[in-house]
Amino acid sequence: MSRRALRKIVNAAALGLSGFATAVGLFFLGAILWTLVSRGVAGMSATVFTSMTPPPGASGGLLNAIY
């Protein structure tokens, strides 16, 4: 086997492994984003953006963080 053929085989294997690793990483990033959005949408309402920040333990909003 020539050096050129060996180099092409190693290149193809490395390219395949890096593509697989990229696909796995993107899958997990997508799963995290999906979980974040699906669970976060339930907590969004107008009061979150229009109520003042409460003391610890009370319910309130994020108005102080916006202004």
The pTM (predicted TM-score) of the whole model is 0.63
Residues 6+ apart with CB under 8 A from 60: 51, 52, 53, 54
Helix ranges (DSSP H) in 1-67: 3-40, 46-50, 63-66
- How many residues does this entry show for the chain? 67
The number of angstroms, rounded, from the C-alpha of 27 to the middle of its chain's C-alpha atoms is 9
Count: domains in the chain: 1
Sequence letter at residue 11: N
The number of angstroms, rounded, from the C-alpha of 26 to the middle of its chain's C-alpha atoms is 8
* Six token digits for residue 25: 């990483």
Range of the domain at 8: 3-66
4-61 confidence digits (pLDDT tens): 999 999 999 999 999 999 999 999 999 999 999 999 888 888 888 888 888 887 777 8
